[in-house]
Structure 1
Amino acid sequence: MKDTFTSATAEPEAAPDDRMVPSQGSFTRPRRFKTATRPPNVEAELIVEHSTKNVPAPLVNEPSAPVAPPRDLWGLLHEQEPGKDQHILEGSQAAEDFRATDVSRAFDLLRTRLRQTVKQNGWINIGIASPTKGCGSTFTAANLAASLSRVPSSRTVLMDFNMRAPGMAKVLDMDPSQSGNLRDFLAGDVAISDYIQRVSDTLAIGLADTALEDAAEILQDPATAVSLAEMRAALNPDIVLFDLPPLLTFDDTAAFLPQLDGVLLVSDGTQTMAKHLAECERVLGNQVPLLGVILNRARASSIERF
């Protein structure tokens, strides 16, 4: 997908190292996944060291060129409306009806507590994971993102990082083929404005549709950290939610923990056991705070009403 943004006035040419500002009509960024490099020429290094051994250092350093601040790309993101066959995002009668349920109100309560916590600690990156498959982490991430997006003048980014079994597009009835590939975005080959899609003034989503068996390796690659840092600088979100794979099934989420400020754990009232939660706490350890455990599919008789 090519960026179709055009300006009525001429823009100055972007600096070569600025991977967020359009250069010659595109947002293309160079690939940063590790590539093979030639070994250093030890002999040449010795010659250079010998030739400069007695040369005094300059007294005055040359001034470096000023670095332009990142450009806000939120308004340049491609837009995609969610389909009518979903009840989470606004735009359908089902979504309006869902807003009146106890489940929706529970997510609003979680939203407010989360916003207070991240603001108090200066956090942005929040992971949502479950101990095992089928606990409802994708459902939780989508509903929490929708609730956050209803806060005026806020910005929330929702990323589908369950790379082995991506499901956010299906839950939100959106077409992931309209955006660039997740692997290429994390490598730096797809522009931020060509991958992240905006569904409202306050919510943007990064979708995935292809299962990646090397997900753990991708999440640990330094290029991924750089691309996500660029995205945060370009979009300036209040919160970035990452829908992550089961914590105890693969090492994907464990590999991504250094990139997170906190984790919300989703447990299933029909299958999650105390030993699963204890093992998740052990995996998290001191790497990232466990912000709370969300109980999904609880028995109605166990829910206290106010």
Structure 2
Amino acid sequence: MKDLYASDALGADNSDVMASFGAPGMRHSIRPRRTVIDHEDEIDSDLPFEESLPISSASAAAAPYVSDDRVPRWQDLPVATPGPGGDMPLVDDHRNSAAARAFDLLRTRLRQTTFEHGWVNIAITAPTSGCGNTFSATNLALSLSRVPGSRTVLMDMNMRSPGLARAFDLESPGAMSDLLGGRVDLGQQMLRVSDTLALGLNDQAEVNAAEILQDSATAETLLRMRAALQPEIVLYDMPPMLEHDDLSAFLPQLDGVLLISDGSQTMARHLRECERMLEGQVPLLGIVLNRARTSSLPKYA
């Protein structure tokens, strides 16, 4: 895997990775939010998070887990070892960095919230492309996987531009659309990279991604996957929600959404529109600020 400070996966040179995500880092809160700033044109570093909790998603939470003896269990998944040539910074390589600590804090808050509400299915998305949602999904999954005895599944549902196989420097077994459509078995498509982390990879872009996500076969496949693997959390790396309707199409399968904003490009109006799209459907668990300005970050003794 690449050195944290030597990757340009987010479109930054080496110094930008350090300055915009590493030491100055990331801000986040795992609390369902109700309002964003109303008037600013640019994202405010002190964006407040309200305390009230929205109603949980009835659609995803109400769906029962039905056991199916035909699909493999967690221990039966093929094991793969991530390679050294991943195309984005992985904070596991720098456990003492500010970025690693930020993801660990995000992990703990997410676990507390999901366990409290019985939520499992969490989408990682962004308002627009280039905000770093695949980077964030990858590193959050790695942080979750460090919890002993846990089970996390990370699914590449960004069928517009699949990126998880490159992030882990692994060869994808095939197309995510084939898995979701029931044309390949779970054991053929899913890989386990550790005792606590499994991946659903994808090697094929899909023009009709939103239609695939709305297909009843997709819902059935994901139910069978959760019943067989019994994960604590399933993270779905999704395309930008203001550029495609994929996330909207997938909302019935979700318990919550984490939104990745970019301190250099995300505008308050982008966040307002994302909240409007989610309102009354799925809780917005929080906003992760990537590439935060150094001056906006609190200092602790």
Q: Could you tell me which residue of structure 2 aligns to residue 290 of structure 1?
A: 284
Q: Deviations over 1:15-50 (max 9, x none)?
A: xxxxxxxxxxxxxxxxxxxxxxxxxxxxxxxxxxxx
Partner secondary structure for residue 81 of structure 2: coil
Q: 2:250 aligns with which of 256, 261, 265?
A: 256
1:267 alignment partner AA: S
Residue 171 of structure 1 deviates from its aligned partner by 1.6
- Worse-matched range after superposition: 72-81 or 226-235: 72-81
Residue 261 of structure 1 deviates from its aligned partner by 0.1
Q: How does 1:1-306 map to 2 (within 5 A)?
A: 69-71=67-69, 73-86=73-86, 95-96=92-93, 98-176=94-172, 179-306=173-300
Residue 95 of structure 1 deviates from its aligned partner by 3.8
Q: CA RMSD in A?
A: 1.5
Q: Distance in 2 between matches of 1:210 and 1:149?
A: 26
Residue 241 of structure 1 deviates from its aligned partner by 0.1
Question: TM-score when scaled to structure 2?
Answer: 0.74
Q: Deviations over 1:199-223 (max 9, x none)?
A: 0000000011211000000000000
Residue 70 of structure 1 deviates from its aligned partner by 3.7
Residue 69 of structure 1 deviates from its aligned partner by 4.5
Q: Distance in 2 between matches of 1:100 and 1:274?
A: 32
Moved over 4 A (4+): none
Residue 304 of structure 1 deviates from its aligned partner by 1.2
Alpha carbons of structure 1 residues 231 and 129: separation in structure 2 relative to 1, 3 Å: same
- Contact 1:128-1:141 at 8 Å conserved across structures: yes
Q: Could you tell me which residue of structure 1 aligns to residue 39 of structure 2?
A: none
Which runs of 5 or more structure 1 residues have no equivalent in the other structure? 1-67
Q: Deviations over 1:92-111 (max 9, x none)?
A: xx843x11100010000000
1:268 alignment partner AA: D
Partner secondary structure for residue 234 of structure 2: strand
Q: Deviations over 1:178-228 (max 9, x none)?
A: x23211111111111111100000000001121100000000000000000
Determine which structure has greater relative contact order: mean sequence separation of CA pairs < 8 Å that are 6+ residues apart, divided by chain length. Answer: 2
Q: Distance in 2 between matches of 1:250 and 1:180?
A: 23
Question: TM-score when scaled to structure 1?
Answer: 0.73
1:82 alignment partner AA: P
Alpha carbons of structure 1 residues 69 and 297: separation in structure 2 relative to 1, 3 Å: closer
Which runs of 5 or more structure 2 residues have no equivalent in the other structure? 1-65
Q: Could you tell me which residue of structure 1 aligns to residue 10 of structure 2?
A: none
Q: Give the percent of matched residue pairs that are identical in Structure 1 and Structure 2.
A: 58
